[in-house]
Structure 1
């Protein structure tokens, strides 16, 4: 349909992919290098206070432990829910429709996008499963681009049910409540402008990905491990069936999981029915309870949780380093300088576009929606409200900016890469090129809609 445009985009994608594979280091190396980079700049900005800057880094290193736990649970409960057998089987059946490379990239994106809208922890495993299943069935599919297609919808999570900023400002007594009040999700993630941006990205991003499809040097899917010994598994199951111990009965009975899961789901329904808005805690409890209810036993649920833990370990390792970076940005005035400069050249009409760009820049240094909001919100919201900008739209502009540069910040790609067995270098070239399109399109839409 667009042969010349497709040829150009394919060549650009190949160029970006080759360059990234050669020069991009490991994600943990990037986190450490960013820490050193920000630390040096902050000390140069405050030459008479190097000890203060160093102390702020050490003090800030553990600042977001509670938030880290919320984020880890959000990811893990979503991943465990995706491991429910009937959900897993459903994803496998969908993969049968991807009988050409372009269909493969588009279907992978759309399935993953639906999961990201629900929960970005759920999306990690949904994206990984659909990418692996399609990769198994279609050897003509370039697996790194397929995984990039599964990860690309990360930009959509800010408009979804697990939007960290959207849920934070909807939580009673959030840290900016005295400035902007409690903003219901009807004015953030469910606002018309947010929905229109979401739909525009859902329509155009998979087309862009499909047009990057390589014509040569196809890297097909390769399984990570040898298949498990099915005979040994059958013998183990037969042994349990023949003489289950009381302990094994408790682990394998579905009754206990159904009971405790139902209790949790009833609590969530009760809270929402009585006016509670969506927040991080209620979302986490819902997915935890749904997983307990839908898994066949507590033993199965526990095993799925253990498997999810391995994919989360890079986040647990790296998040304190980024928390330290946030602390440096705050204490040194570096973060405020970036934000203040953007604010100083913005008008009421362009304020949210500059907010979006600022958030994208800050997110590269500190990839955490909640942590970034803690840094940017206290500066951005009062300045915007002073010139008549709606605080809910400011919050979403920060959210969109945070999600936008997730495409080029490797931190949140770590879980899905752990599941599929790829390195960040394998997908980042495609993500960088896609981020250019997302940045241009979203900037235009925010200007006219926000």
Structure 2
């Protein structure tokens, strides 16, 4: 039954779902129209808000880009890449392939969702090479679907943001340590429940016929030949400096020293520390600055779509804020909630808002100032409110194509190939998380 439903969803999505950038533009126009209708007396206010907000999250965009790129660069370290290939040889059946891909990707998402993009993509491809009967789109969906778990991970943007001193809501809620957010017992329970059940759902969705196997992307043989010819030539003094194994190692070690010092000083996890840690690890393990720079350049290609679309979603957030649309949605949900139901309504609201503003930090900038005071007035702890928003954001990431772009760029598929499976998984995640949030927060 689930196989048939998944097949129907996949066929519908392949036929009717447009490109992710088209979706971003359509959402922008849709929000524009609704906002203007809500503010007929002063439509230019909406256009001004959009233009002003278009570049509002440049600093946060850079942090998110670095989270992705430093994780991707670390995943491309040769010994990590070889380890992934070795583990990829373990699954012998399609079911084992789907489950193993999910587990490896989920662990990576917990560590760093930028790391997970490349780990998931590499692992899905390596497993597909060894399992011709495995459906490659479902393997990629298995690698991407743990994005629903990232709210509990070490790179959770909301959890790390409110643990950062002087964050924008510090005067209202104070600085909330990660022990009350990503390391809260309730967060761990939800994470484990999804970690255990999601691969089971994936296995039941696996098609038996019309299997699409992995087809390697064609490589540029001319470029490869030219590179080989270049390598055979003696290195110049400048090139020797670029390939020197000690410069990257020493620079990476300097970064580690700073990170360790800050932790002994009592600093909690935040985005800046996460980025510096993975940047330092990339330098340390790639060793030469030339290899590190090449890996960084390759990572940039995979996330170009995110860099392009992030300002448009920042503009949408600005429209939602200035027009009162976002406030109306959040206030309505909050008005019907009690102390016992506030977190579940916050979760549902966050899932809805994330469709228009697929950025944990940007979404928090919209929801936090409204929901934190309302929840605290009811007696709900700020950390629980923040995690309800984070889980809602992660939940509908499954059906918002924005964050799937990097992994799709690496594996050579389109959003249409995996979205049918992601829709079904999002339904399961929504049901399980909704039930658990009622009891653990």
Tell me the TM-score normalised to structure 2 length. 0.98
Report the secondary structure of 2:175's partner residue.
Answer: coil
The offset of 1:138, in angstroms, is: 1.1
1:296 is displaced (CA, Å) by: 3.4
Aligned counterpart in structure 2 of residue 90 of structure 1, from 71, 83, 89: 83
In the other structure, the counterpart of 1:289 is 280
Residue equivalent to 2:315: 324
Of the candidates 235, 238, 245, which is equivalent to residue 247 of structure 1?
238
Partner of 2:331: 340
Distance, in Å, in 2 between the alignment partners of 1:361 and 1:447 is: 18
The secondary structure found in structure 1 opposite 2:158 is: helix
Residue 360 of structure 1 corresponds to 351
Q: Post-superposition shift, 1:225?
A: 1.8
Q: Distance in 1 between matches of 2:271 and 2:278?
A: 11
CA distance in 2, matches of 1:55, 1:422: 37
Aligned counterpart for 2:383 among listed residues 365, 370, 392? 392
Return structure 1 stretches of 4+ with deviation > 2 angstroms: 226-239
The match for 1:68 is 61
Q: Does 1:266 pair with 2:252? A: no
- Which string of whole-angstrom CA distances, capped at 9 and with x for unpartnered residues, describes residues 367-420 of structure 1? 000000000000000000001001100000000000000000000000000000
Contact 2:247 2:287 in 1 (8 A): no
Other-structure match for 1:383 = 374
Instruction: Name the SS of the counterpart of 2:303 in structure 1.
Output: helix
From 133, 142, 145, give the equivalent of 2:138: 145
Once the two structures are TM-superposed, the CA of residue 231 in structure 1 deviates from its matched residue by 6.5
Aligned 1:182-261 pairs, distance under 5 A: 182-226=175-219, 228=221, 234-239=228-233, 243-261=234-252
- Give the one of 346, 365, 371 matched to 1:374: 365
Q: Distance in 1 between matches of 2:199 and 2:437?
A: 21
Contact between 2:36 and 2:46, CA under 8 Å: does it hold in 1?
A: yes
For residues 268 and 296 of structure 1, the distance between their equivalents in structure 2, rounded to whole angstroms, comes to: 19
Unpaired segments ≥5 residues, structure 2: none
Q: Report the count of equivalent residues.
A: 440
- Give the secondary-structure state (helix, strand or coil) at the position aligned to 2:364: helix
CA deviation map 1:98-153 (0-9, x unaligned): 21110011000000001100111000000000001011111101000000000000
- 2:125 maps to what in 1? 132
Q: 1:5 corresponds to which residue? A: none
Alignment of 1:150-161 (within 5 A): 150-161=143-154
Give the equivalent residue in structure 2 for 1:312. Answer: 303
Give the distance between the partners of 2:200 and 2:79, measured in 1 at CA. Answer: 29
CA distance in 2 between partners of 1:139 and 1:413 (Å): 24
What is residue 42 of structure 2 aligned with on the other side?
49
Contact 2:121–2:407, Cα closer than 8 Å, also in 1: yes
Moved more, 220-229 or 230-239: 230-239
Q: Do the aligned partners of residues 55 and 227 (structure 1) sit closer, same or farther apart at CA in structure 2, a change above 3 Å counting?
A: closer
Partner of 1:23: 16
User: Which residue does 2:161 correspond to in 1?
Assistant: 168
Identify if the C-alpha distance between structure 1 residues 446 and 434 changes in structure 2 by more than 3 Å, giving closer, same or farther. same
Please tell me whether residue 121 in structure 1 is matched to residue 143 in structure 2.
Answer: no
RMSD between superposed Cα atoms in Å: 1.0
- Counterpart check, 1:107 vs 2:107: no
User: SS at 1:98's partner residue?
Assistant: coil
Change (3 A) 1:228 1:192: farther
Hey, what's the Cα distance between the residues in 2 that align with 1:221 and 1:273?
47
TM-score by length of 1: 0.96
- Quote the Cα distance in structure 1 between the aligned partners of 2:268 and 2:232: 47
| CA distance in structure 2 between the aligned counterparts of 1:205 and 1:277, rounded to whole angstroms | 31
- Which residue is equivalent to 2:434? 443
How far is the alpha carbon of 1:227 from its aligned partner? 6.9
Distance, in Å, in 2 between the alignment partners of 1:212 and 1:113 is 18
Instruction: State the alpha-carbon separation in 1 of the partners of residues 137 and 407 from structure 2.
Output: 12
Structure 1 CA distance for aligned equivalents of residues 429 and 201 of structure 2:
10
Deviation, 1:248, is 1.2
Shift of 1:237: 3.0
